[in-house]
Structure 1
Amino acid sequence: MFKTLSTLPKTVWLIGLISFVNDSASEMLYPLMPLYLASVLMAGPKAIGIIEGIAEATSSLFKLVSGVIVDRTKKTKPWIVFGYLLAGIGRPLIAFANSWLVVLMIRFTDRLGKGLRSSPRDALLAESVPANQRGITFGLHRSMDNAGAVVGPILAAFLLAQHVPLREIFFWAIIPGVITVMLALCLKEPPRVAGDDAPLKFTWSMAGLPPEFKRYILVVGLFALSNSSDMFLLLRARELGVPQEQIPLLWATISLITTVFGTPLSALSDRFSRRYFIAIAWAAYALIYAGMSYSNLTVGWLFGLFALYGLFKAATEGVEKALVADLAPSGLTGTAFGWFNLSSGIMLLPASLIFGWLYESSSPTTAFLFSGACSAFAVLLLIFWVYRPIKEKT
């Protein structure tokens, strides 16, 4: 694995560094959002569901838009730079919010930036390496991204321990935001294959994508219905007795586990079938949410479930994207990632709305059991419907 890492092109490492710096800012604020909304702006779980659902749905829609445009224009860098610029501008503005509706507008801008940069970035990664290095490439990227998600919450916990007000902490995000944009300006477009520069007709359909990919995308959407905002996990942890100052550290622990195991697990998928990783990880997710539904869950078991959640993320974040690259035909990589990102993200709107409504109107137990049931059904479809055609070809 280490030998393969040393041969990866500079573009892969630069994109990883950009994600590391950007996530240091993003994840410094993310675990504080439910605390900020609840204690400062007096917003409840329903408001969190609306904010995160709309924000992530916006991100997902523009991931498809940017992916299709990239395949037609053959340009990735402008979208990546502009996407990080929007995020860098938007995040610090949360400090000025005086209602959850203002936070919603700011999160909308932040996620718009993510939507514009994600598919072009994924396409650039896929086109920078051969097929037998896609797993380790996307795994490395996700590991470096999650390394930033370790640093960010630790910084947040340190600032909270120093009794820095929540509003002031949001100002700190402007520094890594500037650094991120400067690094993104250093990216270079990948060399194009002869004849690959011909302009393509704009289309927003899945025309030209294989049947296996279309089935995979549908099931990814179903699984996403169970995958509501992670803010609910942090809210649950706080309600079960985890002190406020330890919430960012708990989130950092998840990111640390994902960072450590993301690259080796994704690299392993380059040697063995990626489908096994995804199916097993999705099944583990169903068990995690079933465990989180338990009303008498102790803090010790809670930390164990959070650790398992980190392993779930490590086994899926890079591998799922590597499978998309495997299934995407030449010239449609951006479109394939656009549809994957749309399918996995657009369902976060109903997922977060339903979860927030169940959490507040019924109980946390009902909300977590609903998500666990959806994910379990997605696993069955993945095994018995999506993967059967793939197996017949191998």
Structure 2
Amino acid sequence: MSKGIKKISPNLRLIILIGIVSFFADMTYESARSIIPQYFTYVLGGSVFALGIVIGIGDFLGYSFRSVSGKISDRTRNYWGMMFLGYTINLFAVPLLALANNYIIASILIIMERMGRATRIPPRDYVISTVASENRIGYSFALQNLLDQAGAVIGPLIISVMLFYNYGYRDAFLFLAIPATLSILSLYVSYKYSKKEINFEPRKKIERGIKKRHLMYYFIGIGLSAAGIFHISFILVLAQGFLEQYEVTLIFTLAMVGEGIFGFIFGIAYDKIGKEIIIIGPILAILIISMVSFHNILVFMLLGLLFGAFTGINDTVTRSVVASYIEEEHRGSVFGALNTSYGYGLLISSIFVGYFFNQILIIVLYIIILQISSIIILLKFFKKVNHEK
């Protein structure tokens, strides 16, 4: 047993430690996201349109602010300091939701949580991309994402059990202060380990980089795909109309299972196949919207898995492309720009779907048009990059 452990390189151990930080972090905020739509609409009295606006603004800022965070990280080189700041804001906004007595206060806390997440993700991705083995970049991100999603599965499962035994939403939010604290403590352990054990060796110069003008195709293609997704929050609101509270939370749990499993598979596939695997994302989005009208528990469980697969490919493969094609000194900024385009897409999607929530045909046509457009632009990007080799 000890011999097996010794074979793990110090760099891989750091990635695992960061994965443990993510495990407790996702246990905190993904558990919250599994009950926020119900809490917001059924307990605090917010409308579905208001929920769409808040989720849209939160996700937009949660992704677009990563551009700012990435640039600050690159300029200051204080990656760990940015991570500590982001994780603290991100995680402790969650238990404070228990104290919200109206949906306005809840909205502020939801947006704070997203902003904290935006602050810490670019520096975290930089650290992972720097210590990852050059021929196993996809694997490194997939491993971190797998540990991340393990927490995202276990947390909502615990919340589902709490709801089954008649604990309230406020009790659930208060409980989440425990994994939030464990995540911060794990981050401190990771930081100390990185100072003692890790040697950050300079990478070879990337010879097959992407020209800046061609990156725009990538950003627009990913942004359009995000703009054409039927968000899990709306899936949960629909499910609330015909399922029990704990069953709705289980749908979210399956989304996290899907993100973890498929994210890992897509990460491994990226190392074997390459960037073209991103095309699966738009196809998944079309599958999701084609099934939301079937109000059946098994269909909605499948919807959860498919949404998880969609986010899994975006969380793993899109980052791997940046790590493979962008030089280290620009990577934090490009991670930020990529996330900004994704955030714009989620903002548009959430507001549009929230406004036309009761007109499903309009939503179906909108999503199909955007996802086909995304595929066309991503194919153009692949052609440009392949031509440069």
TM-score (norm 1): 0.88
Q: For residues 341-372 of structure 1, what are the alpha-carbon distances to aligned partners after superposition, in whole Å with 9 as ceiling and x for unaligned?
A: 1111133222211110010xx42443344223
For residues 74 and 149 of structure 2, what CA distance do their matches in structure 1 show?
A: 28
2:76 is the alignment partner of 1:73: yes
**Whole-Å Cα distance in 2 between the matches of residues 145 and 368 of structure 1?**
31
Q: Does 1:388 align with 2:386?
A: no
How many angstroms apart in 2 are the aligned matches of 1:26 and 1:65?
Answer: 22
The answer to whether the 8 Å contact 1:59/1:112 transfers is: yes
Report what 1:285 is aligned to: 285
Distance 1:57 1:314 in 2: 18
CA drift at 1:150: 0.6
Alpha-carbon distance change, 365 to 222 in structure 1, aligned in 2, over 3 angstroms: same
How far apart in 2 are the matches of 1:226 and 1:127? 32
Tell me, yes or no, if the aligned pair for 1:47 and 1:100 is still in contact at 8 Å.
no
Alpha carbons of structure 1 residues 55 and 69: separation in structure 2 relative to 1, 3 Å: same
C-alpha displacement at 1:316, in angstroms?
A: 3.7
Partners of 1:61 and 1:148 in 2: how far apart? 25
User: Structure 1 pair 66/59, CA: closer, same or farther in 2 (3 Å)?
Assistant: same
The answer to whether the Cα contact below 8 Å between 1:49 and 1:229 also exists between their aligned partners in 2 is: no
Q: In structure 2, how many angstroms separate the alpha carbons of the residues matched to 1:364 and 1:175? A: 40
Aligned residues: 374
The alpha-carbon distance between structure 1 residues 313 and 356, as it changes in their structure 2 partners (threshold 3 A), is same
User: Which of these residues, 202, 210, 213, is aligned with residue 211 of structure 1?
Assistant: 213
Is contact 2:130-2:328 (8 Å) kept?
no
Change (3 A) 1:156 1:46: same
Alignment correspondent of 1:375: 371
Q: Which residue identity is paired with 2:263? A: G
Q: Which moved more, 1:7-16 or 1:116-125?
A: 7-16
Change (3 A) 1:333 1:191: farther
The residue aligned with 2:86 is 83
Distance in structure 1 (CA, Å) of the matches to 2:215 and 2:64? 18
Which of 241-250 and 158-167 deviates more? 241-250
1:183 counterpart = 2:181: no
Which whole-Å CA distance do the structure 1 matches of 2:17 and 2:388 have between them? 36
Question: Residue type of the partner of 1:223?
Answer: S
Specify whether residues 392 and 194 from structure 1 end up closer, same or farther in structure 2 by C-alpha distance, changes over 3 A only: closer
Q: What's 1:321 paired with?
A: 319
**Partner AA of 1:213 in structure 2:** L
Contact 2:53 2:351 in 1 (8 A): yes
Q: Which residue of 1 aligns with 2:66?
A: 63
SS of the residue corresponding to residue 329 of structure 2 reads: coil
Q: How does 1:233-248 map to 2 (within 5 A)?
A: 233-239=235-241, 241-248=242-249
Query: Alpha carbons of 1:33 and 1:364: their partners in 2 closer, same or farther (altered >3 Å)?
Result: farther
Alpha-carbon deviation of 1:392?
A: 2.2
Taking the aligned partners of 2:281 and 2:346, their CA distance within structure 1 comes to 19
Q: Counterpart of 2:272?
A: 271
| Match 2:227 to one of 225, 228, 244 | 225
Give the alignment's Cα RMSD to 1 decimal. Answer: 2.4
Residues 139 and 267, structure 1, Cα contact 8 Å, conserved in 2:
yes
Letter in 2 for 1:387: F
Contact 2:217/2:377 (<8 A) preserved:
no
Paired residues of 1:53 and 1:353 also in contact (CA < 8 A): yes
Identity percentage over the alignment? Answer: 24
Hey, what does 2:57 align to over in structure 1? Answer: 54
Shift of 1:70: 1.4
Offset at residue 376 of structure 1 (A): 2.3
Decide which moves more: 300-309 or 337-346. 300-309
Matched-pair contact (CA < 8 Å) for 2:257–2:305: no
Q: Deviations over 1:115-153 (max 9, x none)?
A: 110111111111111331110111111111111111111
Structure 1 residue corresponding to 2:334, chosen from 333, 336, 339: 336
Closer, same or farther: CA 365–381 of 1 in aligned 2, 3 Å: same
For residues 311 and 353 of structure 1, what CA distance do their matches in structure 2 show? 23
Q: One-letter code of the match for 2:91?
A: G
Q: Which of 137, 150, 168 in structure 2 is aligned with 1:165?
A: 168
**Equivalent position to 1:116, from 111, 116, 119:** 119
Q: Which residue of the partner structure matches residue 301 of structure 1?
A: 299
What is the CA deviation profile of residues 244-265 of structure 1, one whole-angstrom value per residue up to 9, with x for unaligned ones? 2211112112222332333233
Shift in CA distance, 230/120, structure 1 to aligned 2, threshold 3 Å: same
Q: Is the alpha carbon distance of 1:108 and 1:306 closer, same or farther for their aligned partners in structure 2, counting shifts above 3 Å?
A: closer
In 2, Cα distance between equivalents of 1:150 and 1:193: 35
TM-score (normalised: structure 2): 0.89
Q: Which segments of 5 or more consecutive residues in structure 2 lack a partner in the other structure?
A: 204-209
Counterpart-to-counterpart distance in 1, 2:199 and 2:336: 21
**Structure 1: runs of 5 or more not aligned:** 196-207
- Amino acid paired to 1:158: V
